[in-house]
Amino acid sequence: MFELKPTKHLLFPSLVYHSPFLNQQECEMYVKSLENVKKESSSFNNDFYQTTDKLHLLNDMWKGLSDKVIKVIESTADDQCIMRDSFYTTCMWANISAGQGYFHKTHTHPNSFFSAIIYLRGSKASSTVFYDPKPQAGVFSPAVSEETCFNSKGFKLSFIEGSIVIFPSWLPHCVVGNESDDNRNRISISCNSMLHSEINTNTAYLKI
């Protein structure tokens, strides 16, 4: 009987990096500092608040956090062999939930290259869900005996306090709400970044 022994090629993967980043004391320091930052309720959820997206420009403490994120992003870019002069933060803001059943609808982060989420306070079950970005993925969905990274259309990343996740800004993601308290008092920091670079390969010359 013929036995197929294929080689699997992981074509065009959407890379998501998840790593320890802050210790507990640092997390609580940033949470405490947010008490003095103006918050505005979201237009789609009254129990969800956001700060200014210029958090990194408020003072040296937040700028220091932004600089630390950029170091991780530079390392991520090195891992992907991306040529550039440097990366810089375009915006940084806090996301704060204050009620049961909080959710954050599926979205992407336009006009940026890499995005980051820093998990300051929350439940491990309060996951960030990343979705398959290919438009063809939902054309046909047969049942599967086991969900794997090769057949799943979504991936749940657990909320681990003090960790950071780096992902391409075009990757769709959300926070799913439910009737439990898993998302109550969930606090995270989001960052967007862009690169300084000269691009002249397979396109008109571009300097950004």
- pLDDT the model gives residue 64: 98
Angle between helix 60-79 and 24-33 (nearest 10): 130
Q: Tell me the H-state helices in 14-166.
A: 24-33, 60-79
Specify the fold of 17-134+150-207.
Jelly Rolls (2.60.120)
Q: Which two tokens stand for residue 57?
A: 């420009």
Q: What is the pLDDT of residue 41?
A: 81
Q: For position 110, what pLDDT does the model report?
A: 95
Predicted local confidence at residue 149, as pLDDT: 82
Domains of the chain: which residue ranges? 17-134+150-207
Decide: residue 152, CB within 10 A, 0-12 exposed, 13-18 middle, 19+ buried: middle
Q: Render each residue's pLDDT in the chain as its tens digit; 208 residues.
A: 678 888 888 889 999 999 999 999 999 999 999 999 998 887 666 678 899 999 999 999 999 999 999 999 999 999 999 999 999 999 999 999 877 767 788 999 999 999 999 999 998 888 999 999 988 887 888 899 998 888 889 999 999 999 999 999 999 999 987 666 677 789 999 999 999 999 888 777 888 8
Predicted local confidence at residue 124, as pLDDT: 87
